[in-house]
Amino acid sequence: METGDLLDAIGGLIARLKDYAAKLPAVVHLAVAPTGVKPSAAAIEAYDDMVMRLRARIAGTPYKHLGAPLLESLEAFESGRLLGAIQPLLVLLDQMEQMIKDGRIEARPSDEGRLVEYRRSLRKIMPGNRPELEESGRA
């Protein structure tokens, strides 16, 4: 498995998170939904399938230790915790960046650009990251 292949899979996970985040209301009152808003069963199954296939592909490669953050993200996604699903993927991107710096994996310049782009995408969909609210004085 090459770095680009791994980034393709991570991009797929980020796309699923974006889809889920887009369906969430701006504010969820605990009185209305005390357990939060969970993704649909189909979305959970798709995310689970992507994580499990990726974990199987990275086994026995220099990326094998990245399986733990993937599982953390999956567990959080299944329970509807968007922030909990994003944070492990940010950790995973940080670990990949460190592996590149240490020379443990090779990456093309385009791969390094995708790391930056994916980190930016994840930060944009994090709860509380709404730049449009800053302009309205409600931030």
Pair 105, 67: CB distance under 8 Å: no
Tell me what the mean pLDDT of segment 38-61 comes to: 93
Predicted confidence (pLDDT) per residue in 99-111, tens digit = 999 999 999 999 9
State residue 138's pLDDT score. 40
- Integer Cα distance of 3 and 100 in angstroms: 9
Statement: the pTM of the whole predicted model exceeds 0.75: yes
Q: Is 75 helix (H, G, I), strand (E, B) or coil?
A: helix
| Top-confidence range, 20-24, 28-32, 58-62, 126-130 | 58-62
% pLDDT > 70, the chain: 83
Spacing of C-alpha 17 from chain mean position: 6
